[in-house]
Amino acid sequence: MTSSIERTTPAGSDRRTFLQRVALTGVALGPGGAFLASCATGGGDDDDEAEEAPSGDVSEDNPLGIPEDQPLEIYIFDGGFGDEYATEIHQPIFSERWPNVTIEHHAAVDIAGELQARFVAGDPPDFVNNSGDGQMDPGQLISDGLLYDLSELFDAPSWDDPNVTVRDTLLPGAIEAGTRNGTPYVLNYAFTVFGIWFNQTLLDENGWPVPTTWQEMMDVCADIAAAGIAPWVYQGVTAPRYMNWPLLSMATKLAGPEILVAIDNLEPGAWGHEAIKESAAAILSLRENNYFLPGVEAMEFRDAQGLWARGEAVFCPSGSWLENEEADAIAENPTFQLAMMPDPLLSPDSVMPLETVRATAGEPYVVPADAENPRAAMEYMRAMLSLEGARGFSEAVTSLTSVAGASEGVTIEAPGLASAQAALQAAGDNVINWYYPSWYGDMENPGIDQATGALLRAEITVDEWADRCEAVATEVREDDSIDKQNRES
C-alpha cells in the first residue's frame, strides 16, 4: 500500500534495517515464515508507534483517534471460515461509520507466503488474520517487536455502549489468550468449545446413554463394540494431541485447575501429578480394550474424522469447528445428529463438576507494529467486536465468538454448535483452558504430541508417558533462549 506519510522515527528505521538485513542473510526466517531471531532493537515502544502512525482527533465518536482520510489494508485468511464474513458483515459495519476510509481487502490461503516479504521490508498491511497452516509464529512476532500493543483497543469504549469498555464485553480468557508478559498483542475472535462429539441419533436408537463418568463410558463402549461399531476415533498420526484434551480436562475436573497452572508455568513434576496419570490411564484403557477404530493410529486426521462422521465410530474428541470441518461427510449420513458432551468425571469425588468444559478464544487477528494505519485497524477490530459483527459472524460461519452474550437471540441451526453453546452456558464459570501450546509451540507439537501418540499405541506405559512429557517441559524450562510466560490462575 502506498502512503504519503513518511515514517522516519528511529524505532521504525531500526526495525526495518534489521529486517532488510534478515532478508539478505536468510538466517532469521524459518519454514512457514516464522521469525526465528529477535530484532536487535526489540521493536519500538508505544510512544514510538503513536508518533509514527497518522492519527485523527480523539473524541467521543472517535475514541481511538483514527485518521478519517487514510486507507485501511486488511488480509483475511481464506480457510475454514472463508472471507465473506469480512466483506459482507464486518466491512459494511465499519464503513457505515467511516465512509471515507477506503478498505483494501485481500484474501490469502498462505498468510506467511503472502506477507513474509512485506514484514521483512517493514511495509506490512494494517490488519492481518494470522491463521492457517501458513500462520506466522505469533510468539516470535511478539518477541521480535513486530506486533502492535492492543491495550488501547481493549480499554476503548465498546462499539455498542460508550459506558462499557471493549474488554468488559469479552468472555473470560479472551484477552489473556493473546497476551504476552502482560501486554495484549492478539485479538482471538472465535470462541471454541472442546469436548467429545457423537451422533445423538445413534445413541438414542440403541438406548445407549450419554456417559457422565468414565466407568459409564467404558460400559457404553462395551455395548457399542458388541454392536460391531468402533466406540472411539482420534485424529491419528497427524494429531494424537487431540486426545490430550479430554485427558487434561478430566484430570482438571478430578484435582482442580491448579494442575493446569503448574503445567503452563513449567513447574517441575507437573506432568507427574497423580490426577494426570490417572486420566492418562483412562485414555490408555481405550486402546487396551480395543475401543479405537482399527488402524486409526496410522490415519491422517481428516480420514479418521471422515470415517467417524460416516458412522464407523461413535465418539470423537475435538473443538466446535468439527461440524464445519466435516460438513460434507456428515451430510452423507442422513441420520447424523451431531452433539457434544463434556468430558466424563473420573470419580464422583471430582473437585469440579461434570459441566466443566474447556473453552478458549482462537482465530487470531493482529495489527503489525509497522502498520501505516494501526488506529483504523484497531477500530476495525472494535467493529468486529460489536454485537452486530459478532452475531453476523456466528450466523455466517457456524462459530461462537469471544463477545459475551453475542449468541443470545441468534438462531443457531447447526446442531453441533447449538450443543456446544448449551454446554458453555451450562458450564457457567467452570470454564478451563491451558496456554502452553500457544506459549511454547514445540512443547506440544512435536513434544507432548509424540509422547501421547506412543501412549495411544500402547508402546509406553503411563509412567513412561509422564516422564516423556516432563522431559519435554524441562527442556523448555531450561532453554534460556525461550521467553517464559507466567500464569497466576
Q: How far is CA 152 from the centre of its chain?
A: 22
Task: Specify the pLDDT at position 32.
Answer: 32
Q: Check pLDDT > 90 for residue 468.
A: yes
How far apart are the C-alpha atoms of 179 and 187, rounded to whole Å?
A: 9
Lowest mean pLDDT among 49-53, 175-179, 232-236, 254-258: 49-53
Q: Is the pLDDT of residue 13 over 80?
A: no
Mean pLDDT of 75-85: 92
CA atoms of 333 and 324, how far apart (whole Å): 15
For residue 172, what pLDDT is reported? 84
Per-residue pLDDT, averaged over 180-200, amounts to 95
Q: In Å, how far from its chain's centre is CA 186?
A: 11
Q: What was the pLDDT predicted at 441?
A: 78
> pLDDT value at position 52?
63
For 339-389, write each residue's pLDDT tens digit: 999 999 999 999 999 999 999 998 999 999 999 999 999 999 999 999 999
Beta pairing, strands 72-77 & 103-108:
parallel
- Over residues 424-439, the pLDDT tens digits come to 989 988 999 999 998 8
CA distance 40 to 370: 16
Q: With cut-offs at 50, 70 and 90, classify the pLDDT of residue 19.
A: very low
Least Cα distance to 133 among 243, 33, 237, 30 occurs for 33
- Bond preceding residue 124 cis, omega within 30 of 0: no
Residue with cell 485501511: 72
Task: Give percent of the chain above pLDDT 90.
Answer: 75
Q: Which three cell numbers mark 174? A: 479472551
The residue-averaged pLDDT of 201-223 equals 97
pLDDT at 282 exceeding the cut of 50: yes
CATH level 3 topology of 10-191+360-416 = D-Maltodextrin-Binding Protein; domain 2 (3.40.190)
As a whole number, the mean pLDDT across the chain is: 88
* The predicted structure's pLDDT at residue 407: 84
CATH 3.40.190.10: which residues of the chain?
A: 10-191+360-416, 193-357+432-477
Place of cell 518477541: 143
CATH code at 193-357+432-477: 3.40.190.10
**DSSP string computed for 300-368:** -HHHHHHHIIIIIEEEEEEETTHHHHTHHHHHT-TT--EEEEPPPBS-TT-SS-TT-EEEEEEEEEE-B
